[in-house]
Chain A
Amino acid sequence: MIGGGNMKNFKTLEKDQSNLIKALQLKQKKEGYISNEAISEIADYFSIPAIDVEGVVSFYTQFKRTKPGKYKISVCDGTACHIKGSSQVLNWVSDELDIEEEETDDDGLFSLETVACLGCCSLAPVMSVNGKVHGNLTRDSVLKILKEYREGAYDDK
């Protein structure tokens, strides 16, 4: 869904640095994160120093340098969600899964992060799991959602 095309491999991109971010996005989509190997590979492709690629990766919050869990939980901490208690949502998730922000649980099933705003403010507080947004969260609904993911209820969607 990037730029109208359905390309999956960054090597189809024109070798111009303006495509660097797109290349990283494609790589991350495929592998889940940006590994050291990915950095060298991309740097070679665009003929730029690896440090420049690393610099771009570290600048943008979208890029992850560690392998995420099967289910990526993003708790929204936008203003509306914050006002509606997003820090509690974070607590509930973190207590239930026994992981902190930017961590992945031992089974590699869930990873947890906070994001600035998912743009669904009217349903605050919200969180997304692998991009699917769950709104109007309460403690009960959060626990129910996590249980459903654990049981694989969303796997085929």
Chain B
Amino acid sequence: MMINRIKVGMASCGIAAGADEVYEYLENNIDDIEITKVGCIGHCYAEPLVEVETEDESIIYENVEANEEYLEKILELKDESRLQFKKERTEKELNKVTRLAGVIAPDSIEEYMDNGGYEALEKTLKMDPEDVVSEVKDSGLRGRGGGGFPTGLKWSFLADKDAEKKYLICNADEGDPGAFMDRSMMESVPHQVLEGMLIAAYATGATGLFIYVRAEYPLAVKNLSIAIDQIEEKGLNEFPDRTVEIKIKEGAGAFVCGEETAMINSLEGGRGNPRYRPPYPTDSGYKGYPTLINNVETYANVPIVLAEGGKKYAEVGTENSKGTKLFALAGDLKYAGLVEIPMGITIGEIVYEIGGAEKGSVKAVQIGGPSGGCIPAEHFDTPIDYDSLASLGAIMGSGGLIVIGNDRCMVETARYFLEFTTKESCGKCTFCRVGTKRMLETLEKITNGEGSREDIKLLEDLAPKIIDGSLCGLGQTAPNPVLTTLRYFRDEYLAHVDDKVCPALECDNLVDIYLDHDKCIECHLCEKNCPVNAISSDLEIDNEECTRCNTCIEVCPVDAISRVKRGGGSSE
């Protein structure tokens, strides 16, 4: 069978898995077939991925290596190493926003246009700007960055302003640890994001566009830059009455800059401190001009809304949450990656059927990053929509979804998030600056086995005060991971403070390392590899010396070494 084209998934995740070596190898060893770099199709667990297009089908090979064996598999279209699309997953997915991700070459505007790209913009330019805003209102599209503010309504605020200059910002400062939806979209389909921005610019009368991208995303910056050059070349940013300027601004690593007033300060070249609202950015934003901020995924939805019409768009989803949502799945599950689902399917469907996590092995999901919460397995029948998640104490967030297995400690998880927010607090509000620090210290006390019930009370007392006493979303949501773990996993907190036990055996101060001499084959690998010489020549572990680095557990060929509860080694 004739091979028309070979595509290599080359988003950051693919490259990290070795896709660049695969691409280079294929380039060097195949002469007569076009080899294209594409973005991410979401099945990150199987990367590097290579897709082979023949006349009548397309076959994807998984975990491809840069060698002859795989070259042969690819060229001869062998059955081995083909990526199997699992029915459980494909039935639940709905690829609308990600339809072209990993399918087209991100640096080709022609390919985007061949697949319907910029048709929505063309259609928009024939409409009245007010009608474009109404169409977005009809769609029920809500901000995908986490807040869930109705997009059409936000647009109307800017459209109503009469000003010499108006700005539109794309928030691509994807700072939530564990989230990579926006990175994937910018790397894979930059034109779709930009088309959404151009439509928004037309509808709201914006004169300048900014994309505020995290500096940690060099490939996204590169692909967006190429796309902007192509747009300018084709004149797609020239409206009948004005030409809109599109600029990329790289952030410099500050989570708080995801907050809109902080982002504006950062764009102006200052420290990314948030400021009091009102005035809202739509009244006074970048350099005092009316400014509107939407997230990457929100913009990526816009061309779809305009192409199919607001009412049609609203057919997918629940009463108050329309359309689809992207989630970045990671953590203790089989199929980590990116997935797009219609709003309204349950958390459990994502975790078990799409993510392939084993039932019974999962304790909770962490959703919404440091601003979100931990939802326990007994609530996995909750549908994914803005309001249901809020009722559990979590938030939709931008789409990071981390699966937490049974062997993880929830107190430690809460401590981890507080450590993050403490570091990232800009320091402006006392309750955020000092309050998160005190919360972190209290949690450290508990995970170190030095806590008491008083400390739990202190956490519960401090949380609402931090929420009330903080100006921006960072402080207002910082206690959420603590509050949700206290609500759903109180028994773990109590085990730490009452019994000085970490049930998940994760907190280093509450565990010992134990060597089972019945299993041990006396290979002495542990002794040789111990970085602090805590294992003697007769293979006794000195738990006073030990730093719990787990090296011995890693190197033991027969799993004779394990973590046990403190003081539990001798009695077993």
Chain A interface (Cβ within 8 Å of chain B)? 1-4, 16-22, 24-25, 52, 55-56, 59-63, 77-85, 88, 91-92, 95, 115-124, 126, 131, 133-135, 138-140
Contact = CB atoms under 8 A, between A and B. Distances in A.
Contacts of A79: 176-178, 330-331, 366, 369, 400, 402, 416-417
Contacts of B248: 2-4
A124 B400 CA distance: 14
A59 B272 contact: yes
A59 B425 CA distance: 10
B45 interface: yes
B17 interface: yes
Nearest to B335: A122
A71 to B, nearest CB: 17
B161 interface: no
A117 to B, nearest CB: 4
B13 A123 contact: yes
Number of contact residues on B: which range applies? Answer: 35 or more
Contacts of B228: 4
A2 B254 contact: no
Nearest to A88: B550
Nearest to A55: B271
B267 A131 contact: no
B204 to A, nearest CB: 21
A21 B267 CA distance: 8
Contact of B254 (A1, A61, A135): A61
A2 B347 CA distance: 39
Nearest to B18: A135
Q: Which of B177, B267, B270, B329 has the most CB of A within 10 A?
A: B177
Interface string B26-70: 000000000000000000110100000000000000000000000
A121 B330 contact: yes
B80 to A, nearest CB: 22
B555 interface: yes
A45 B178 CA distance: 39
Interface stretch (B106-114, B218-226, B516-524): B218-226
Contacts of B337: 122
Nearest to A59: B271
Contacts of A122: 13, 44-45, 47, 329-330, 336-337
A116 B255 contact: yes
Nearest to A63: B252
B180 A119 contact: yes
B12 A133 contact: yes
B390 interface: no
A81 B179 CA distance: 12
Contact of A117 (B179, B215, B554): B179
Contacts of B178: 78-80, 117, 121
B551 interface: yes
A133 to B, nearest CB: 4
B542 interface: no
A82 B249 CA distance: 29
B145 to A, nearest CB: 16
A133 B15 contact: yes
A93 to B, nearest CB: 11
Contacts, number: 171
B142 interface: no
B488 to A, nearest CB: 17
Interface in B170-189: 174-180, 183
22 contacts: A2-B248, A2-B250, A16-B269, A21-B250, A21-B251, A60-B251, A62-B252, A63-B252, A79-B330, A79-B331, A79-B416, A117-B176, A118-B12, A119-B180, A122-B13, A122-B329, A122-B337, A123-B17, A123-B336, A124-B330, A133-B12, A139-B554
B127 interface: no
A82 to B, nearest CB: 5
A56 B267 CA distance: 12
Contact of B336 (A16, A88, A121): A121
Given A21-B251, A55-B271, A119-B216, 17 more contacts: A22-B250, A56-B270, A61-B254, A79-B369, A79-B416, A79-B417, A83-B405, A83-B408, A83-B413, A88-B550, A91-B547, A116-B175, A119-B217, A123-B16, A134-B16, A138-B554, A139-B555
B308 interface: no
Interface string B191-219: 00000000000000000000000011110
A20 B255 CA distance: 19
Contact of A18 (B177, B218, B268): B268
A80 B15 contact: no
B328 A121 contact: yes
Given A116-B255, A116-B420, A139-B555, A92 B225 contact: no
A11 to B, nearest CB: 16
B549 interface: yes
Leading 4 A-B pairs by shortest Cβ distance: A122-B44, A78-B177, A60-B252, A79-B178
Given A61-B254, A79-B402, A123-B17, A17 B180 contact: no
Given A133-B15, A139-B554, A80 B216 contact: no
A88 B553 CA distance: 12
A135 B17 contact: yes
Contact of B16 (A2, A20, A84, A120): A120
Nearest to B529: A139
Contacts of B225: 1, 3-4
B531 interface: yes
B253 interface: yes
B180 A121 contact: yes
B404 interface: yes
A60 B253 contact: yes
Given A60-B272, A116-B255, A123-B13, A1 B218 contact: yes
Nearest to A134: B16
A4 B13 contact: no
A21 B408 contact: no
Q: Which of B16, B229, B329, B408 has the most CB of A within 10 A?
A: B16
A134 B20 CA distance: 12
Nearest to B42: A122
B330 A80 contact: yes
A152 B114 CA distance: 44
Contacts of A116: 175, 177, 253, 255, 420, 424
A82 B416 contact: yes
